[in-house]
A and B are shown apart, each in its own frame.
Chain A
């Protein structure tokens, strides 16, 4: 582990993004457009207040999953990963470098998207805003860590993109956004309990409902953080210096 190599890696990932202006713009604009569309569709109903905050967590999760799985796959197929692994870089340096860079991008994305949702679109959030931001960033890092892990199983960009519906959509369906989790069939609720996004959405839901931070929220947040660490650990395990 080396702080300077981790920092250099984060800087490199951000520089790659900086050269790709369109991706950067889309990272910020797409969630904003979707939130606006949603607020418009449910204009005059309480629905936007109910699902707006959970979606603020889900957008960065999905986007970072996609961006990271493609970025890591590119790193594998372009040979740069193999080159790096012949150099004195630790696997954690690489993973944390990615986490830092995408965490920073996710923070900017979450700041702008929640600023728009709360400021202009009138989203009602009862709990503290900083916690909303923190959860959005954690969701982004979770998406990133999962993307990093599953990209190891993708041999092509086509496969990597397909992992999005395969890994992300089931979590989306079962996270409690469409049907509250306590109304799910037992088996589905059990599965839902195993999926990290469920906890992130529970947290966001509590934030919109209660002014005080419920103790259960800290449990939810801990589960999300543990899931991040687990996914990063699994991601590190897929980075092999020696390959067949």
Chain B
């Protein structure tokens, strides 16, 4: 069996539209874990995730998934990816969407019913996606990524707009998946979800601010919660920068 870490990112740099959006980022993620990727909007989380699933043109560095270069053909069955905006066909029903993606992945029969149950959408299986609420549509998108039981799941803000009960259920499912050996990288800008992760990667302006278990992070920064820890780390980074740096960093 392949014993390489699930994810291995080395000196990754991505330039989009002349701007460096991921700046010399390196980290490893062990198999069978839930890692939270936290940071404000525009911090480079999505670009980092796109690099991991192999759809991003990168300017430098390497990304390996399960010991193979990101995006290489064998990974296309092993990595599930949920984009931030639900990427499903709004003019198809939930089941039609999942059936199509299952056919593309070569997922076993019955997989569609399994993932429908996982995300709690069995009752909506025959609804058109355009008639669903934003949260329901996001769950269809998540269900599609769960098809064929991928070894690595890259989830870009999968819990946005969900009610707290559903969010808890999904995080319970993420923990179950991780216990079964699946590696999850979950991004969020909601800091209170951090407590559900074994490890946190904090990003801001394309750089890693921290890469620690939540407890270590809180202890090191002397903070009561992750939001406070994040603010302290940002302040530290800022005071280390030149005074005019703030005016140059726009929003993205």
Chain A: CB-nearest residue to B88: A80
Query: Is A79 a contact partner of B87 (Cβ separation < 8 A)?
Result: yes
Q: Are B100 and A86 in contact (CB under 8 A)?
A: no
Contacts of B92 in A (CB 8 A): 12, 15-16, 19
B83 to A83, Cβ gap below 8 A?
yes
Return the CB mask of B80-95 against A: 1 if under 8 Å, else 0: 0101011111111100
Interface residues of chain A: helix, strand, loop or mixed (majority): helix
In the complex, A87 has a CB within 8 A of chain B: yes
Residues of B within 8 A of A126 (CB): none
User: Do residues B87 and A80 form an inter-chain contact, with CB atoms below 8 A?
Assistant: yes
Q: Kindly state the separation between the CA atoms of A15 and B126 in the bound complex, as whole angstroms.
A: 13
Is A44 an interface position by the 8 A CB rule? Answer: no
C-alpha gap A4/B105 in the complex (Å): 11
- Bound: A84/B56 CA distance, A: 14
Question: Does B101 touch A at the CB level, under 8 Å?
Answer: yes
CB pair A89–B79 under 8 Å, yes or no, is no
CB distance from B207 to the nearest CB of A (A): 20
Which residue in chain B gives the minimum CB-CB distance to A83? B87
With A12-B96, A86-B79, A87-B76 known as contacts, the answer to whether A5 contacts B104 (CB < 8 A) is yes
Known: A15-B96, A19-B91, A83-B81. A88 touches B57 (CB 8 A): no
Closest A residue by C-beta to B96: A15
**Residues from chain A with Cβ under 8 Å of B73 in the complex:** 88
Assess the B144–A83 pair: CB atoms within 8 A.
Answer: yes
- Decide if B109 is an interface residue (CB 8 Å cutoff): no
Q: Which residues of B contact A242 (CB under 8 A)?
A: 54-57, 71
Contacts of B87 in A (CB 8 A): 78-80, 82-83
CB distance from A150 to the nearest CB of B (A): 22
Q: Is the CB of B104 within 8 A of A243?
A: no
Chain B residues lying within 8 Å of A8, measured Cβ to Cβ, are 100, 103-104
Does any Cβ of B come within 8 Å of A116's Cβ? Answer: no
- A12-B100, A88-B73 known; A243+B89 contact, CB < 8 A: no
Question: Within the complex, what minimum Cβ distance (angstroms) separates A5 from chain B?
Answer: 6
Q: Give the size of the chain B interface in residues (CB under 8 angstroms).
A: 32
**Does B16 touch A at the CB level, under 8 Å?**
yes
**Are A243 and B55 in contact, with the CB atoms below 8 A?**
yes
- Assess A16 versus B91: contact at CB under 8 Å? Given A8-B103, A86-B76: yes
A94 to chain B: closest residue by CB: B104
A244 at interface by CB-CB < 8 Å: yes
The yes or no answer to B222 lying at the interface (CB within 8 A) is no
Question: How many whole Å from B243's CB to the nearest CB in chain A?
Answer: 32
A20 contacts chain B at the CB level, 8 A cutoff:
yes
**Does B77 count as interface, using CB distance less than 8 angstroms?**
yes
CB-based nearest B residue for A93:
B104
Binary contact track A1-21/B, C-beta < 8 Å → 1, others 0:
000110011011001100110
Instruction: Tell which of A4, A11, A86 touches B81, judged by Cβ atoms closer than 8 Å.
Output: A86
Within 8 A of A (CB), among B39-77: 53-57, 71, 73, 76-77
Complex CA distance for A242 and B105, rounded to whole angstroms: 19
CA gap between A138 and B41 in the complex, in Å: 48
B104: chain A residues at CB < 8 Å are: 5, 8-9, 84, 87-89
Interface centre among B87, B96, B128 (most CB of A within 10 A): B87
**What string of 1s and 0s marks CB contacts (under 8 Å) between A53-97 and chain B?**
000000000000000000000000011101111111100000000
Q: In the complex, what residue of chain A is closest to B70 when comparing beta carbons? A: A242
A86-B57 Cα distance, complex, nearest whole Å: 14
Judge whether A79 and B83 touch: CB under 8 Å.
yes
Q: List B contacts of A78 (CB < 8 A).
A: 85, 87-90
Residues of A225-244 contacting chain B, CB below 8 A:
241-244
A161 to chain B, nearest CB (A): 18
By Cβ-Cβ distance, the 5 closest A-B pairs, closest first, are A79-B87, A8-B103, A88-B76, A12-B100, A83-B87
**Interface pairs (5), CB distance under 8 Å:** A78-B90, A82-B55, A83-B81, A243-B56, A244-B56
B residues with a Cβ closer than 8 A to A are 16-17, 53-57, 71, 73, 76-77, 79, 81, 83, 85-93, 96, 100-101, 103-106, 128, 144
Q: Using A5-B103, A88-B76, A244-B57 as known contacts, list a sample of 7 further A-B pairs with CB atoms less than 8 Å apart, ordered by residue number in A.
A: A4-B106, A15-B96, A16-B89, A78-B85, A86-B71, A88-B73, A243-B57
